[in-house]
Structure 1
Amino acid sequence: MTHKFSGNADYLNNGNDLVVVLGHGQLARMMYLAASQLGINIIAVDADRLCCVNPVDKTVLAVDVETAFAHCIAITSEFEHLPKELLATAQATGKLRPGANSIAAGADRIVEKQLLSSLSIPNCTHRIIHSVDDLTEAYKTLGPKVILKTSRDGYDGYGQWRIFSERDFASISNELSTFDFGHMPLIAEQCIEFEREISLLGITDIKGKHHYYPLTENHHGDGQLVLSLAPAPNNSDELQNKAQQIHQSIANELNYVGVLAIELFQVGDTLLVNEIAPRVHNSGHWTQQGC
């Protein structure tokens, strides 16, 4: 593959469309590898250093973020935990897809829960925790098994505590005695006995039309995805349609444009939303070679 990037900014005017991806991890690299086959250039933004980098080898590019924003046809994200200033600058261009409100819904579990509740979309019974006293009351209501999660910056099993016994509760309550709840409220979720986790990868285009891949069944180890089965075994039109209706409700409410992944717990015929991811998603990696 011919490398499109160099130490100067010539590629900004090389005749190919340019898309800027906020974040420079594996998903930005995967998007570059896919987009290059379509004649689309990808520049990644290192959100920590606020500089443009090559999405494959992470070389810092001789173009600043504002210039990249000015030359691109669209800005998107591979990661929702982004600096507010960077997100605001991207939003102000009118090119950010999905918009900052969608990314915020994926970045903050409280915002996410409020969105789901406003749309009457089933999700795990939960309480917002602002203090150890709140946790005590939540454990009485939601126990005996509770998953405690940070409202922000948690992913792949990080930022979580499992309270499965009175001993766990006492230990974690003690651990959180000095926790800054003002800076980071927590979410306590009732631990449910679900049959499996499945996810739906959906795309909404600029005209609001939705497109879907088959449901995928997810298997985890230590809180991280280790295996995706696609299409999900024992899928049905009814289950697929139920997941798509959830996706459409969320996408329509957010005026969404782009890829939106939804993780779902299946309990019989019921689907509960676990999380939404306003971006390409690891449970959809199979689509690159499988479609």
Structure 2
Amino acid sequence: MNIGILGNGQLGQMLAASISDLSDIKVSLYDLRAHSDATLQTFIASVDLISYETENIPAAIVSQLESCADKLFPGLDALKTFQNRLLEKNALRAAGITTAEFAAVNSLDDLKAAIVTLGLPIVLKTTTEGYDGKGQYVLRSAADAEPAWASIGNRELIAEAFVPFTRETSVIASRDRDGNLVIWPMTENVHHDGILRYSLYPAADVSDAKTEQAQQYIRQLADSLDYVGTLTLELFDTDTGLVANEVAPRVHNSGHWSIEGAATSQFRNHMLAVAGKPLGSTHSRYPAVAMLNVISDEAPTLAATGLTNVFVHSYGKEARPARKLGHVTVVANSTTERDNTITQLAGLMPAGVWQH
């Protein structure tokens, strides 16, 4: 069996590596940046099944996937839905999941109307593309409307009411073709300048009610789209419950801890689901785990070389500002040990980001 992955970045490479021990599955990666219609058609014909490392796939490529939709996992419905934040919000609502109030914005007048309807502050986002804080603008006064539109307007946007949250979390699951679902424990995620800096397992002091709510939400969402593969739901933790923020129809940065930290990683279960094989256990292998992103500069990872409970993953990328160059996983026998280790690695983050 040959599984083709659209995208050959770090996620595609980690997907391939996750099943390197399985002799009956071959993985081929397609470079989206070197796309041509002819190379894509050759690629499609050469593989038995197709998946993708990113939802940000150009429309021209998506249209060509129509002809092979029966071997694409996750399916076209999921891909098209989660490529567009407006469609995504509507899908979440249709699945019975709480989201922020939102409004479509296609003009400056629409934006001014959204300010009146949603109140302030609001977050304005492009409906397509945009990640790690890109394609977003926070409006705190009515006077921000024109500069916001000038910055990211003249295209379809979505305005979202601000959610007063205490922290950001995520829940990740894999679903197979028969509807069986496995869910990893929730993580607490800390961002800086719109980029995830670290994720912690376990997320501290999550009530049983919120754990159940997160698991029910991702089950409802996956079932509603007959989803196959790994799915990520980012959630705001609020005083009144969890509110869905965004969805990633793929493996996610906040789940990288699962490579060393869980019995089965998010990458392996994605590939097993696509291949039609049984899913593995998502239980944690350690009482406490953390994932720290390596941003802009890999030099600080030298601090990890003498630590036996730290695993360094380099993506082999050229360094540049705000670019994810790799990640570091910390495994520990307690949250105290985990946090003490992170303190030793605090040079990976801007001052003040690690505050435990």
State the TM-score bracket (shorter-chain normalisation): 0.7 to 0.9
Q: 1:168 aligns with which of 127, 144, 149?
A: 144
RMSD, aligned α-carbons = 2.0
Q: 1:45 to 1:239 in 2, by over 3 A?
A: same
> 1:279 offset after TM fit, Å?
0.5
**Corresponding residue number in structure 2 for 1:105:** 81
- Could you list the per-position Cα deviations for residues 207-257 of structure 1 after superposition, in whole angstroms to 9, with x for gaps in the alignment? 111101001111001101110001211123322221111111111111111
TM-superposed CA distance for 1:72, in Å, is 2.6
TM-superposed deviation, 1:76:
0.6
Q: CA deviation at 1:70?
A: 3.1
1:4-30 CA-partner distances (Å, limit 9, x unpaired): xxxxxxxxxxxxx32111112111111
CA distance in 2, matches of 1:156, 1:81: 13
Q: Does the CA-based 8 Å contact 1:51-1:64 persist in structure 2? A: yes
Q: For the residues of structure 1 that align with 2:162 and 2:114, how far apart are their CA atoms?
A: 12
Q: Residues 239 and 269 of structure 1 are in contact (CA less than 8 Å); yes or no, is this contact kept in structure 2?
A: no
Partner of residue 212, structure 2 = 241
Deviates more, 1:192-201 or 1:161-170: 161-170
Where does 1:130-209 land on structure 2 (aligned, <5 Å)? Answer: 130-173=106-149, 175=151, 179-180=153-154, 184-209=155-180
The total of aligned residue pairs comes to 260
Would the aligned equivalents of 1:266 and 1:272 in 2 still touch at CA under 8 Å?
A: yes
**How does the TM-score come out when normalised to structure 2?**
0.68
Gaps of 5+ in 1: 1-16, 53-62
Say which of 95, 120, 133 aligns to 2:96.
120
* 8 Å CA contact 1:132, 1:173 repeated in 2: yes
Paired-residue identity, % = 36
**Where does residue 346 of structure 2 map in the other structure?**
none
- Residues 124 and 189 in structure 1, CA contact (< 8 A), matched pair in contact too: yes
Distance 1:92 1:173 in 2: 38
Amino acid at match of 2:61: L
**How many angstroms does 1:118 deviate by?**
2.0
| Residue 345 (structure 2) aligns with | none
Query: Alpha-carbon deviation of 1:51?
Result: 6.3
Contact persistence 1:205–1:257 (CA under 8 A): yes
- In the other structure, the counterpart of 1:20 is 4
How far has the Cα of 1:168 moved from its partner?
2.8
SS of the equivalent of 2:34 reads coil
1:90 CA drift (Å): 3.2
- Report the counterpart of residue 54 of structure 2 in structure 1: 79
Is the CA contact 1:214–1:231 (under 8 Å) kept in the aligned structure 2?
A: yes
- The answer for the alignment partner of 2:344 in structure 1 is none
Offset at 1:66? Answer: 3.1
Distance in 1 of aligned mates of 2:151 and 2:172 = 37
Would you say the 8 A contact 2:81–2:91 is kept in 1?
A: yes
Q: Deviations over 1:257-290 (max 9, x none)?
A: 1000000111124111101110111110010111
Amino acid at match of 2:59: K
Work out the CA distance in 2 between the residues paired with 1:170 and 1:66: 44
TM-score (norm 1): 0.83
- By how many angstroms is 1:122 displaced? 0.8
1:30 to 3, 14, 25: 14
19, 31, 35: which one aligns with 1:50: 35
Match of 1:230 among 171, 182, 201: 201
CA distance in 1, matches of 2:124, 2:174: 31
The answer on whether the counterparts of 2:234 and 2:247 sit within 8 Å (CA) in structure 1 is yes
1-structure distance, mates of 2:150, 2:194: 24
